[in-house]
Amino acid sequence: MELNQGLNENTNYNRYPLVSILLAIYKPNEKWLIAQLISLNEQSYNNLELFVYDDCPNHPVNEGFFRRYIINFNYTVIHGKVNEGSNKAFEELTKIANGEFLAYCDQDDIWEKDKISIMVDGFKDDDVTLVCSDLSIIDENDIKIANSITEIRRRIVYRSGNNLARELLMTNFVTGCAMMVKRDIAKKAIPFQKILVHDQWVAIIAALNGKIEFINKPLVKYRQHSFNQTGILKDVYDKKTYYKKRILDFICRYKAFEERLNYEELKEEINHCLIWMEARKRYFLNPNISDLRIIIKYKYFHTVSALIEIILPFLPEFVFKFIIKMAKKGLL
C-alpha cells in the first residue's frame, strides 16, 4: 500500500470524540465523487478525519479532488497495489482508523450535513455498538426519487435493540454508508467475511456485542444507478443464477458463520439453517417429499424463498424470469 497524507491548518482537537470517515473508491465518477467530498467537508461535526482507499492501481484517483474539496479536516489517501474489492478496501481502512467511531462511506452518495452529529448522539447509551439510519434515494442527476430506501426495497425492516444477530444472519437492514460503529467493535470483525458484504458482517458482530440503534431519518442521499454493487437479487437473472446466488452462496455463508461465529446463542440457529439450505439444494436438483418437508418445517428462515423454491423446479424459465424482474422492482 502507498499512503499519501493531506494536512490542513484547521485541525480541531476538542472534547468531541474523533470520527474516522472511511471511503473506498474504484474508478469513481468524478462529478459524483466531488459531490460526496463536498458533503463530507461540510459536515457540522467538527472532529473528523478521512481515510481513502483507492482500489484501482491501474487508474489511480486524481488526488487534486481531495486537496481542493477536503479543507476542514485531515485526509489520508491509500493506494492499493492490486484490485481486491470493496470488502478488502474497507477492511484495510478499518485497520488503520484512529477514531473512536468509524463511518463507512461510498464514492457516489451525498451525506446530509448533520449526519455525523446525529449519529454520534446515537451512542449516548454505553451499550450501543452501532448506529444506523434510513436513506433517501437520488438518481444519476441528483434528483430525489424516494424519501426512504424502504420504498424501493420493501423487504427492509429496520430494528433497534439488543439480540438482533439472528435476524442479521439472513437479512441485513444496515446499509454501510448509513452506519457508524465503535472502532473496537469494527476491529473485532477483522478479517471481514469474504462471502458477505462488509456492512452486514460488521452489523452482526456489533449485534453480538451490544445494542443497535436505528435513527428513523434519512441521513444519506443514496445514489441509485446501474453500477450499484448491491441490491435486491443482484446477479440473479434465471434459475441457474438463482441456484448459485441464493442457494449455493448462502450455504457458503452459513458454513463461514459456523466457523467464525463461536457464540452459543447462534449455534443452533446456524445448524438448523444449514439443514434447511442443504434440503433446498437437493430439492432444486431433484424434487422429493423428504426435502419438501424440511423446507416447510424451516420456512420461517425466509418464507418468500421457501414458497418460491417449492414450485421453482416446475416453473417455466420465462415465468421465473418475470418473477425475478418483479422482485427487483420491489413489487414482490
Q: Which CATH superfamily is domain 2-223 in?
A: Spore Coat Polysaccharide Biosynthesis Protein SpsA; Chain A (3.90.550.10)
Within the chain, where are the H helices? 30-41, 64-69, 86-96, 115-121, 165-170, 183-188, 198-208, 239-242, 249-260, 264-285, 289-297, 303-311, 317-328
pTM equals: 0.90
Q: Break the chain into its structural domains and give their ranges.
A: 2-223, 239-328
Asked if pLDDT for residue 15 goes beyond 80, the answer is: no
Mean pLDDT of the chain: 91
Asked if pLDDT for residue 33 goes beyond 70, the answer is: yes
Asked if pLDDT for residue 300 goes beyond 60, the answer is: yes
Phi-psi region of 177 (alpha: psi -120 to 50; beta: other; left: phi over 0): alpha
- Rounded to whole angstroms, what are the CA distances from 16 to 19, 38, 101, 117, 330? 9, 22, 11, 10, 41
Asked if pLDDT for residue 230 goes beyond 80, the answer is: no
**What average pLDDT does this structure show over 285-302?**
97
pLDDT band at 327; cut points 50, 70, 90: confident
Asked if pLDDT for residue 267 goes beyond 80, the answer is: yes
Q: Could you tell me if 182 and 123 are in contact, meaning their C-beta atoms sit under 8 angstroms apart?
A: yes
pLDDT of 154: 80
pLDDT of 12: 45
pLDDT band at 114; cut points 50, 70, 90: very high
